[in-house]
Amino acid sequence: MAVVKVQRPKLNAGEKVYFGALLKGMFITLRHAVRSLFGKTPGAKSLKSSGLGVTMQYPEEKWDDQMPEYYRGTPALVTDEQDRERCVSCQLCEFICPPKAIKITPGEIPDGDEWAKVEKRPKEFDIDMIRCIYCGMCEEVCPEQAIYLRPDYVVTGTSRQDMVHDKERLYEIGGKRVGLVNKWNDLK
Amino acid sequence: MDLTIHVATLIKIGVFIGITMTFVSICVMFERRFSAIIQDRVGPNRLGIPLSILGFKKDFKLPIGGLTQPLADGLKFILKEDFTPAYVRTFFFWLAPVLVVGPALLTMAVIPFGSPMEIGGKFIPMAIADLNVGPLFIFAIASLAVYGITLAGWSSNSKYPFFGGVRSCAQMISYEIALGLSIIPVLLMFQTLHLGEIVQYQVDHGWLLLPFWGEGLSAQRFLMWIPLFIAFVIFTTSIFAETNRMPFDLPECETELVGGYHTEYSSMKFALFFLGEYAAMVVGSALIVTLFFGGWSIGFGIDNALPIGAWWVSLLHIGVFLGKVTFFILFFILVRWTVPRFRYDQLMNLGWIVFFEAALINVFLAALILAAPHIHGLATTFGFIVLAVITFFLIKIAKSATTKTTVKAI
Amino acid sequence: MSEEAPANTATAEKKLPKDLAAENGMVNVQIDGTWIQVPKGTRMIEAAKMAQKEVPHYCYHPKLSSPGNCRMCLVQMGMPPRLAPGQDPEYNDEGYQEIGWMPRPVIACANTVAENMGIRTTGDLVEKTREGVMEFLLINHPLDCPICDQAGECKLQEFSVEHGRGESRFQETKIKKPKNVDIGQNIRLDDERCIMCSRCIRFMDEVAEDPVLGFSQRGTHTSVTVHPGHRLDNNYSLNTADICPVGALTSNDFRFQMRVWFLKETKSIDTNCGTGANTVIWTRGNEIFRVTPRENNDVNSSWMPDSHRLAFHSLQTDDRLTQPLVKEDGNHIDVTWTEAVNKAAELLKSGNVAVIASGKQSNEELFLTQKIASAIKSDLLTIVPRKGEPDGKLISEDRNPNSTGANLIFQADDAASKLETIKNEVRSGNVRTLLVLHENLLDEAGFTTSDLEKLENLIILHTHANPTAALASVVIPAAGFAEKRATYVNVTGRLQRANQAVIAPGETRDDWESLGTILAKIDPTFTIPSSLDGVLKLLSTEIPAFKDQTFGSIGDLGVPITETGITIPLVEREKEKIKSGQIVG
């Protein structure tokens, strides 16, 4: 690699004084500010500007209709067509979870339960959304297709405890998922 | 001195300090909104009055575009943990923020906010202290702020704040010279150091930089415009440097020094530095307005048509003054979001090699123009020639000096 | 050497490797191209292990007979060609005969090595064979891994990753078998997961001597069952879950509690009887999830009784003592550890003191106890004897884990001999202060409440709340067996060490710290060692049997330090079986 000597541009007297450029710069800034003030910034329309700059006013306006299919929001548990908990608490997600956000207490399904043949399901299933980094490893590792990253991204709470999603909340977010591999069907 | 004056002074202290502080906080708000607009953003536009924290059911939402944001900012600063690191020199560490805010607010005392008001047969000037050495007082007190910043940097007992403090010290001393020299032509013109009289002069003879109305308009007055404009440019730029504003905010430049002299500060102590900087900006603007743009004067010869002394006239003039100050604050903000930061050697070159010499020559130029009607013909011509020669040589020397330093720097 | 070597070759005729090996009762075997010497009669699988070549296997277990029914350990074998009459064997440069490789594989677990034998544990034939065996084993194996407790320590998982083909070609319906069968108090059976290795059947027959398990049906329908009218309720049944290579037999106690990959293993020993079976304590966080036996052929072979294995639950109950207590006006009030220890030392200095130590205490604690007794000039020092019916296998008659240690440290033939004396002295009112360590006197020691009420001061150090502690004037919480490092001497005179697996609850401190501090308060010349190692060092200098012993020298398997004449029946039987060649051992 040869050394390339970059020649500094020769400036004329006017440019050296710097004032012209300064005023020009301020004029450009000001023009841009005025445009922005009236919502005329380039790209304002395609970015769904609220009329000031290119910014969308978040809680009132949302991108939801443009959310891609593969968007990774909050992880949640899903049930199958027959409302069975898909999770069997194998704890692989707990193991793989990089920030250790998942905590599972496994439990046995008692005899007499409709799904007693599955034998195992989580007694408690907590995901600490303060810790979660939305990496999707849990979804990837799940052998039962029980945990999915849903498009929900609004996770708020007023205390740390609020931010821990328990089993009930996770099923509420996840809902029912049909058309997946059905491992514990009648043939099994 | 009777009771009226005492009471009036107390009221003036309350009102003007109040105005300044309000201005400072609104400045922050303006800065955030204006910079947001420049950058295609929105800025803080939501905050209403959070009644719910007082137990009410709903927040009160006013369509004021987040004007209460400064209040929230202040509250946040007060409520944050005030952390003093274990390794700092505690006394100076606590003293520093006070030394930054104090001078900035003190200088406000001599600024005439409006035309005098007539109460009980007495004309009460609309400045807290109607000193007859106004600009000198301001320079003297404002320079004290450098102690605050230097002390903050030194007492933090940490590398980056120390650099910040040292830079600030060097920078403020350098630009103080240009600042002081630059207003000599202005003072030559006014022939007084009393800020109230300076404004009155402009009421009568037209604003210093807009000499289009009033008495005494002559060719000499228009010729004077040249050194006055040079003075204005140097003065304004130096005010930028004195207040540590972009493009001269090297003492706290984030990319090099983390947070500069206030790296180790948090909570209200940090807020005081912030306050100090903006207060200095407000005072700087007020000074520029007072010296170059007629202070509280409405201009266009209207002022003398108004009944001076009536309370509404005073209030009107205060309004006009604040309007002008606001304009300059917006100018400060516009500059900040337009001009990139200087390199430190560029900053020093500009201060010592350009502004210092330019201000010096400017003094002689102004003097020559003012003296021209009295000394006539040959002497004037000779004077101009000498000045031109000196200027030429100074530019030569300055050029060689700059190239030398750049070579050294490389 | 360099001078002698050529001289040898020059004078004597060079000896062949087979003759050299035979002199030591060894044979030469070539394993994956490397020649090694192994003892005559070694199984091929063990020979491969000596050469650090792993042969995958399910049914083979060194402590059990080898039926060779899983076929996983198939390897390729070769022998020198059979000589025609009158033909001389040909030796190559290294002195070995050419190996003629057999075209079909043999099982490595049941065949023994022979001179000049070759074994290939890799290669096309072996790999193809293993892949085939794996495929057959997996045909009817359910995909239960997500709910199976064995997942993570399952040999079927491991070998199917290593040797399996990765995807199934099986298109028929899988055979259905009973799942989740209750066959005994501690064991759950899942027949679908069973790969018919018969380890459990052989274990119950040969080791537990309670043959209740067997195969029923034939072919793909073969399944493990208990014989009609029987249940797997033997006290050694949980060992079958340990040796089961898959998840067919799982522990009811550990069922669905935690996945094994979260558990931390701590090597320890069992403290429920004098045998001191070597164990591994499996913990996650500060919770013990299970205890399994650890192989030590001088103590417990690879086995452990269920009753001892499940005893760890007593450490995780709500009635643990967690806070030092001092009795004031008839009520126990919470105090700091320092206050309690100071108070105890003060009371002990008052004279007329007897000390009832415990055989459950470690050597270090007993040593400090003995020092306390001599510091307060009391010869009333005893442990509480704890006898039970031996089961003729691993549970010894002595239910104290450290009676032998107590005998050594108290330098008495029977450390428990003075219990009756102390009892009488307490009853007669001669003993005013009693220090009780790890014992509930109202239980096994035979004291009554009225006896103890005669005492002025009763100081107790215990893990659990109990009636004696309720009467005590000072209660100091103590750490349980998994919560401290300690050494014990088992009934055979073997010094063994236990490691700390979890942290003791609440304000509890290690017992040596409590006892050491009390001792230092009583006897100002005594300085507390900075660590437990220091206590053992002190002990080793004062008690001859412990001479030069440190935690390091004890090692994971312990060292014999004294002769007691007591043996462990199960271990003796196994030694006989090894001698007769029934098992490898």
- Residue A44 tokens read as 């304002």
> Do A43 and A101 belong together in one domain?
no
Q: Contact A55/B37, CB-based, under 8 Å?
A: no
Q: Which residue has the higher pLDDT, B128 or C366?
A: C366
Q: What is the pLDDT of residues B235-271, one digit of tens each?
A: 998 888 888 777 887 777 777 787 788 888 888 888 8
Q: Using pLDDT thresholds of 50, 70 and 90, give the confidence band for residue B403.
A: low
pLDDT reported for residue A87: 92
Contact residues on chain B for A30, CB-CB shorter than 8 A: 334
DSSP class per residue in A86-131: ------HHHHH-TT--EEEEEEEPPTTSTTGGG-EEEEEEEEETTT
Residue B405 has pLDDT above 70, yes or no: no
Q: How far apart are the first and last CA of chain B?
A: 64
pLDDT reported for residue A1: 66
CA distance B207 to chain A (A): 23
pLDDT reported for residue B59: 67
State the average pLDDT over residues B339-364: 84
Contact residues on chain A for B30, CB-CB shorter than 8 A: none
> Do A73 and A157 belong together in one domain?
yes
Residue from B338, B339, B355 to probe the interface with A (highest A Cβ count within 10 Å):
B338
pLDDT reported for residue A76: 93
Contacts of B213 (CB under 8 A, 6+ apart): B206, B299, B300, B301
pTM: 0.75
Q: Contact A92/C146, CB-based, under 8 Å?
A: yes
Nearest to B138 by CA among B113, B110, B112, B114: B110
CA distance A114 to chain B (A): 47
Q: How many C-beta atoms lie closer than 10 Å to residue C130's C-beta?
A: 24
Q: Using pLDDT thresholds of 50, 70 and 90, give the confidence band for residue C518.
A: very high
> Among partner residues A19, A28, A37, which is closest to B37 by beta-carbon distance?
A37
pLDDT reported for residue C11: 45
Domain count along chain A: 2
Is A22 inside a domain boundary?
yes
Nearest to B330 by CA among B293, B285, B384: B285
State the average pLDDT over residues B53-59: 72
Q: What is the pLDDT of residues C45-80, one digit of tens each?
A: 999 999 999 999 999 999 999 988 899 999 999 999
Question: What CATH code would you report for C15-122?
Answer: 3.10.20.740
Question: What CATH code would you report for C325-561?
Answer: 3.40.50.740
Q: What is the pLDDT of residues B142-198, one digit of tens each?
A: 888 888 888 888 898 888 888 888 888 888 888 888 888 888 888 888 888 888 888
To the nearest whole number, what is the mean pLDDT of chain A?
86
CA distances from C87 to A91, C81, C82, C118 (A): 66, 11, 10, 21
Chains that touch B (3 or more CB pairs under 8 A): A
pLDDT reported for residue B63: 65
CA distance A113 to chain C (A): 14
pLDDT reported for residue B27: 84
To the nearest whole number, what is the mean pLDDT of chain B?
81
State the average pLDDT over residues B72-77: 84
pLDDT reported for residue A188: 53
Q: Contact B338/A25, CB-based, under 8 Å?
A: yes
pLDDT reported for residue C490: 92
Residue C288 has pLDDT above 90, yes or no: yes
pLDDT reported for residue B175: 87
Residue B27 and residue B278: Cα distance in Å, rounded?
Answer: 7
pLDDT reported for residue C554: 93
Q: Using pLDDT thresholds of 50, 70 and 90, give the confidence band for residue C566.
A: very high
Q: How many C-beta atoms lie closer than 10 Å to residue A150's C-beta?
A: 18
Nearest to B179 by CA among B409, B391, B358, B399: B358
Is the minimum CB–CB distance between A143 and chain C shorter than 8 Å? Answer: yes
Q: Contact A29/B40, CB-based, under 8 Å?
A: no
Helix/strand/coil for C272:
coil
Is the minimum CB–CB distance between A37 and chain B shorter than 8 Å? Answer: yes
Is A188 inside a domain boundary?
no
Helix/strand/coil for B158:
coil
> Do A46 and A75 belong together in one domain?
no
Q: What is the pLDDT of residues C305-346, one digit of tens each?
A: 999 999 999 999 999 999 999 999 889 999 999 999 999 999
Nearest to C517 by CA among C284, C341, C356, C386: C341
Contacts of B333 (CB under 8 A, 6+ apart): B30, B31, B34, B35
Range of the domain at A86: 65-174
> Do A85 and A131 belong together in one domain?
yes
Q: Using pLDDT thresholds of 50, 70 and 90, give the confidence band for residue B409.
A: very low
Residue in chain C nearest A145 by alpha carbon: C146
CA distance B230 to chain A (A): 12
Across the A:B interface, residue pairs with CB atoms under 8 Å apart total 42
Is A158 inside a domain boundary?
yes
Q: How many C-beta atoms lie closer than 10 Å to residue C153's C-beta?
A: 15
Q: How many C-beta atoms lie closer than 10 Å to residue A175's C-beta?
A: 12
Is the minimum CB–CB distance between A102 and chain C shorter than 8 Å? Answer: no
Contact residues on chain C for A119, CB-CB shorter than 8 A: 147, 179-180, 256
Residue in chain A nearest C150 by alpha carbon: A90
Residue whose tokens read 């994956």: C32
- Residue B122 tokens read as 């007495």
Contact residues on chain A for B34, CB-CB shorter than 8 A: 33
> Do A86 and A160 belong together in one domain?
yes
Residue C260 has pLDDT above 70, yes or no: yes
CB B260 within 8 Å of CB B252: yes
**pLDDT > 70: what percent of chain B?**
94
> Do A69 and A142 belong together in one domain?
yes
> Do A69 and A39 belong together in one domain?
no
Residue whose tokens read 């309350």: B14
Q: Using pLDDT thresholds of 50, 70 and 90, give the confidence band for residue B382.
A: confident
Is A163 inside a domain boundary?
yes
Q: Which residue has the higher pLDDT, B376 or C145?
A: C145
> Do A46 and A74 belong together in one domain?
no
Residue B408 has pLDDT above 70, yes or no: no
Q: How many C-beta atoms lie closer than 10 Å to residue C21's C-beta?
A: 21
pLDDT reported for residue B410: 38
For the ranges A33-37, B270-274, B324-328, C405-409, the one whose mean pLDDT is highest: C405-409
CA distance C275 to chain A (A): 35
- Residue B267 tokens read as 């909570």
Q: What is the pLDDT of residues C426-477, one digit of tens each?
A: 999 889 999 999 999 888 888 888 888 888 899 999 999 999 999 999 999 9
Is the minimum CB–CB distance between A52 and chain B shorter than 8 Å? Answer: yes
Contact residues on chain B for A32, CB-CB shorter than 8 A: 38, 40
> Do A28 and A47 belong together in one domain?
yes
The domain segmentation of chain C, as residue ranges, is 15-122, 325-561
Residues of C with CB under 8 A from a CB of A: 142-143, 145-147, 151, 173, 179-180, 255-259, 261-262
**pLDDT > 70: what percent of chain C?**
98
Residue from A96, A119, A185 to probe the interface with C (highest C Cβ count within 10 Å):
A119
Residue B383 and residue B367: Cα distance in Å, rounded?
Answer: 10
Residue A44 has pLDDT above 90, yes or no: no
Residue from B34, B35, B42, B406 to probe the interface with A (highest A Cβ count within 10 Å):
B42
Contact residues on chain C for A188, CB-CB shorter than 8 A: 142
Nearest to B174 by CA among B227, B228, B240, B241: B241
* CB-side neighbour CA atoms (13 Å) of C193: 27
Strands (E), C71-216: 74-79, 100-101, 106-107, 117-120, 181-182, 187-189, 213-216
Q: Contact A57/B39, CB-based, under 8 Å?
A: no
State the average pLDDT over residues C117-144: 92
- Residue C277 tokens read as 């079976």
Q: Contact C256/A108, CB-based, under 8 Å?
A: yes
Q: Using pLDDT thresholds of 50, 70 and 90, give the confidence band for residue C2.
A: very low
CA distance A26 to chain B (A): 6
Chains that touch C (3 or more CB pairs under 8 A): A
Q: Using pLDDT thresholds of 50, 70 and 90, give the confidence band for residue B401.
A: low
To the nearest whole number, what is the mean pLDDT of chain C?
91
> Among partner residues C146, C255, C259, which is closest to A144 by beta-carbon distance?
C146
> Do A47 and A71 belong together in one domain?
no
State the average pLDDT over residues C154-161: 94
pLDDT reported for residue C9: 46
Residue B270 and residue B252: Cα distance in Å, rounded?
Answer: 12
Residue B277 and residue B265: Cα distance in Å, rounded?
Answer: 15
Residue whose tokens read 């103080």: B176
> Among partner residues B42, B233, B334, which is closest to A29 by beta-carbon distance?
B334
Residue C281 and residue A130: Cα distance in Å, rounded?
Answer: 33
CB B152 within 8 Å of CB B133: no
- 3-state SS record for C464-484: ECCHHHHHCCEEEECCCHHHC
Q: What is the pLDDT of residues C71-108, one digit of tens each?
A: 999 999 999 988 888 888 888 888 899 999 999 999 99
> Among partner residues A90, A95, A108, which is closest to C146 by beta-carbon distance?
A90
Contact residues on chain A for C262, CB-CB shorter than 8 A: 91, 94-95
Residue A163 has pLDDT above 70, yes or no: yes
pLDDT reported for residue B271: 87
> Do A77 and A150 belong together in one domain?
yes
**pLDDT > 70: what percent of chain A?**
97
Is the minimum CB–CB distance between A32 and chain B shorter than 8 Å? Answer: yes
Q: Using pLDDT thresholds of 50, 70 and 90, give the confidence band for residue C265.
A: very high
Specify the range with the lowest mean pLDDT, choosing from B94-108, B234-248, C8-22, C244-258.
C8-22
Hey, do C15-122 and C325-561 end up sharing a CATH topology, with the first three levels equal?
A: no
pLDDT reported for residue C8: 46
**Residue C410 burial (C-beta neighbours within 10 Å; 0-12, 13-18, 19+):** buried
Q: Contact B42/A57, CB-based, under 8 Å?
A: yes
> Among partner residues A25, A44, A54, which is closest to B339 by beta-carbon distance?
A25
Residue in chain A nearest B338 by alpha carbon: A26
pLDDT reported for residue B313: 81
Contact residues on chain B for A41, CB-CB shorter than 8 A: 40
Strand C457-462 vs strand C474-477: parallel, antiparallel, or unpaired?
A: parallel
> Do A53 and A70 belong together in one domain?
no
Nearest to C26 by CA among C44, C7, C39, C9: C39
Q: Contact B334/A30, CB-based, under 8 Å?
A: yes
pLDDT reported for residue C4: 46
> Among partner residues A26, A37, A44, which is closest to B338 by beta-carbon distance?
A26
Is the minimum CB–CB distance between A16 and chain C shorter than 8 Å? Answer: no
Q: What is the pLDDT of residues B278-305, one digit of tens each?
A: 888 888 888 898 888 888 888 776 777 7
Residue B358 has pLDDT above 50, yes or no: yes
Report the complex ipTM. 0.82
Q: Contact A33/B37, CB-based, under 8 Å?
A: yes
Is A1 inside a domain boundary?
no
Q: In what order do the strands lie in the sheet with C486-489?
A: C486-489, C494-498, C559-560
